[in-house]
Every structure is written in structure tokens, then in C-alpha cells.
Amino acid sequence: MTSHAHPTKRDNLTIVPTHEGYLVTLPGSELVTWINRTAYMVLVLSNGHNSPRGISQTVQALFDLHHDPFPEIQKALQELHKSGLLVEFQAIPVSQKSLLISVRAPGESVSVETLKNITTMTKVLELAEVKHRLVIDPQPDFALSRNRALSAMLLRDEFSHLLLLDGNTYSTRAVTEVSLDHIMSSQHDFVTIPVKQEEPNWNKASASSGLSPEQLSGFAYTYNVIFEGVERPRIQSNGYFEALHTSMSAVVLSRGGIEKLSASNHVTRYRGLVGDQRIEYLEHYWGFFDSVITSHRVASGDVAFCERWRAAGGHIMATTAGSFGHSLSGARALLAQGSK
């Protein structure tokens, strides 16, 4: 049987409208399959030219949906294929690791050391045979830049993961100290790579580690992660701690996690009208990083994204690899010495 890159309906199907759906008969067969209206729309759009993501976007626009229907479209495609109404098609393997890298560099200004770190990162990915694409985003508005990066993931089917990376020395160095290939294989949808902060904050370092400032002589940096409880990591799972919030300085997000969030009611999708044509603002497609305003507080940017992620049932994990793991081990050793 021929394998198609995109869903393709069988030729010469007999389709009869009925109550709340359609009756579909295969050519030369007496077997009749009932499908609902959504499945019918998916079947019509399965013309061999539309990807599953493209079908989802068309359905969303036609019915003016406020959520991303991609999970329902995927389910409909599976049922149609199981019923024999679609020619066998080869979807992009979910298990195949591929990475879209979005580096935020306002004005495209990056240092020589930063470029060196980025080059090192991409060479390691090549050695690991991880398909990747690097995009340098000069957008100065960090929320707009990150909204655009996540929106690009939802528009493109070929990447399994997204790396959000700030184009500075500290963030780009952090990704060279960990295995991105290992992180992408971890089954975690949100992994932050702790990044050393430029200026140590001794009070926060003390709270994060449980050590007194006097004991922190060997713990010279703080990191961009806030953990549960008293801001100290407590729950470890195979080299990862669960976090409460993190900056997006260096974060790996899975496609599945992004799609789950976009399908929730926690994210606004923006649309606009030009004349009689409905268009979508591609530069600000989904408001993943929009401020969250309540009667009690205002959360913006990275904190707002983390709160949306957790509200949608997601978990934020921090890897203990790299310099963070070494610093954490050093702090624990100092703590053990102090308890003797």
C-alpha cells in the first residue's frame, strides 16, 4: 500500500448525509460507517495536501473556535484511518527527536563568547544526530518573542521540542553543560536548565540552600529557578527537581506539552479583521506570556507562563545536570559539615 506524507481519503467513497452526521460506504463494499460532522470535515480536508496541523487550523478558522482542536483532529484521523476511509499515511514519528531553537537576541546583538557557546551546542546536537533549526530573534519585547516561538511550534509539525534561549553568555553556556538529547528523552514536557545569575543574591541563595550566609563561601551564584515550599528543591526524579517558577532563559518544551496548553482555556488566541478577510496575527498568535491580572496581584512574562502551565496540569522540572548540580552538591556538603 502506498504511504502518503499527509492524510488522504480513499477515492469513490459514497457519502450520504444523515441525522447529526454522515453515512460513508467504501467502493465495492456493503460496510457502512457513520461519522460525525467533525470527522466529515476532517475527511473532506484529507486531500493529500493538508498536514494534520493544517487540517486543525482550517477547522479552527471555519468554526471560529477559541481553542486549538488539534487533539480532537488527531483522534478523528485515527478513527477514519481505522475505518479504512483514509489511505495509509506516514505521520511524523513522535519518537523522533527534533529541536527548534529560538535564541532571543534584541537587535541581533550577541557576543563572540555567546556565538561560540551556540556553535558548541549545535555541534553536539549534530553528533547526537538530532535534527535542529536555529532561529535568532531580534525582537526586543521578550513576551512577543516567546509567544512567536511557541506559535511557530504549533504551526510546524517537524519539531518535537522547542528550546527557548536567551542570547547571553550565561544562558548559552548553561546549555553546553547539559545533554539536550537526554533532556528531550526524559519524558518531561517542561525542563528548565538552571542558569547562573550575573550578580549573586546572597539572601536568596541562603533561602534556596538552607545554609547560612557564612556557610555559602563556596556557593557563589544563585540560579533562575524558584522551587516549591521554602524555595529549596525537595522532590527529585531521575536527576530532575520539580519547580514552582523559572525564567525562560534556557527552557526545553515538548510539542505535546505546548499543544496541551494551547488547547486549554488558559491561553488567548489572537485574531483580527482586515476588510472582509479574517486574518490571524502571526507575530502574536497565542498569548502564552500575556500578563495575568487578578484582584490580588499581577503576574507577567515568565511567571505568568509558568502559572498557565501548572494550571493546565503541567509540571515544571529543573535538571540537576551542569553547574547547578555541582553547586547544589557543594552546598549540601557544606550543610553536612555544619551539622557535625
Instruction: Name the more confident of 333 and 106.
Output: 106
Q: Note the pLDDT of residue 76.
A: 86
CATH topology of domain 8-87: Arc Repressor Mutant, subunit A (1.10.10)
- Cell 522532590: give the residue: 235
On the question of pLDDT at 338 being above 70, the answer is no
Give the rounded percent of residues in the chain with a pLDDT score beyond 70.
73
User: Cα–Cα distance between 55 and 161 in angstroms, integer?
Assistant: 21
pLDDT score recorded for residue 66: 62
Q: Is the pLDDT of residue 172 over 60?
A: yes
Side-chain-side CA neighbours of residue 222 (13 Å): 22
**DSSP secondary structure, 173-214, as one string:** HHHHTS-HHHHHTS--SEEE---B-SS--HHHHHHHHT--GG
pTM of the predicted structure, to 2 decimals: 0.65
Q: CATH 1.10.10 spans which residues of the chain?
A: 8-87
Higher pLDDT among residues 102 and 211, named by residue: 102
Nearest to 309, CA basis, from 231, 215, 246? 246
pLDDT at 234 over 70: no
Where do the CATH 3.90.550 domains begin and end in the chain? 99-259+290-338
Most confident by average pLDDT, 41-50, 64-73, 209-218: 41-50
Yes or no: say if 269 and 245 are a contact pair by the CB < 8 Å rule.
no
Which pLDDT belongs to residue 59?
83
pLDDT tens profile 55-114 = 887 887 777 776 667 777 888 888 888 888 887 665 544 447 899 999 988 876 778 889
The predicted structure's pLDDT at residue 55: 86
Closest CA to 307 of 321, 297, 322, 319: 297
pLDDT band per the 50, 70, 90 thresholds, residue 326: low
What fold is seen in the domain 99-259+290-338? Spore Coat Polysaccharide Biosynthesis Protein SpsA; Chain A (3.90.550)
HSE at residue 19, side-chain half, CA atoms within 13 A, is 0
Read off the pLDDT of residues 260-297 as tens digits, 9 standing for 90 and up: 898 888 888 776 544 555 555 555 578 898 887 766 77
Mean pLDDT of the 19-25 span: 87
- Which three-class secondary structure state does DSSP give residue 72? helix
* Range of 1-5, 270-274, 296-300 with top mean pLDDT: 296-300
Q: Which amino acid is at 112?
A: V
